[in-house]
Amino acid sequence: MNEKGYLNFTDFPLAVTLICLGSKLVTLNEDTKTIDRVNFVFEKNPEVEKIVAAYWAGSLLVEPKQFWNVSRELKSRIRLRG
């Protein structure tokens, strides 16, 4: 995968937030540095970068039930990999 066209990170709440706000998760990869972590891979585009910046600035709101449901679904995907 071309690293320049993708965002690759291990921050679970950021991944859930991106999915809640309409970004598509491309894939999950094992973190080569830590066995118990997963890398979340998203396509890099201006909208995703805007959401990431707002996430780190603390200026986002996500519907709580949606966040919870996406979180459970993503945890299930992670468990299925192992």
Residue 41: its H or E element: strand 38-43
* Contacts of residue 42, Cβ cutoff 8 Å, sequence gap at least 6: 6, 7, 15, 18, 23, 24, 25, 26, 48
pLDDT above 90: residue 79: no
Contact 37, 31 (CB under 8 A): yes
pLDDT score for 2: 47
Name the pTM for this structure.
Answer: 0.88
What is the distance between the alpha carbons of residues 82 and 80, in angstroms, rounded to a whole number? 6
Per-domain residue ranges for the chain? Answer: 3-81
pLDDT above 70: residue 6: yes
Q: What is the pLDDT of residues 24-71, one digit of tens each?
A: 999 998 877 777 789 999 999 999 999 999 999 999 999 999 999 999
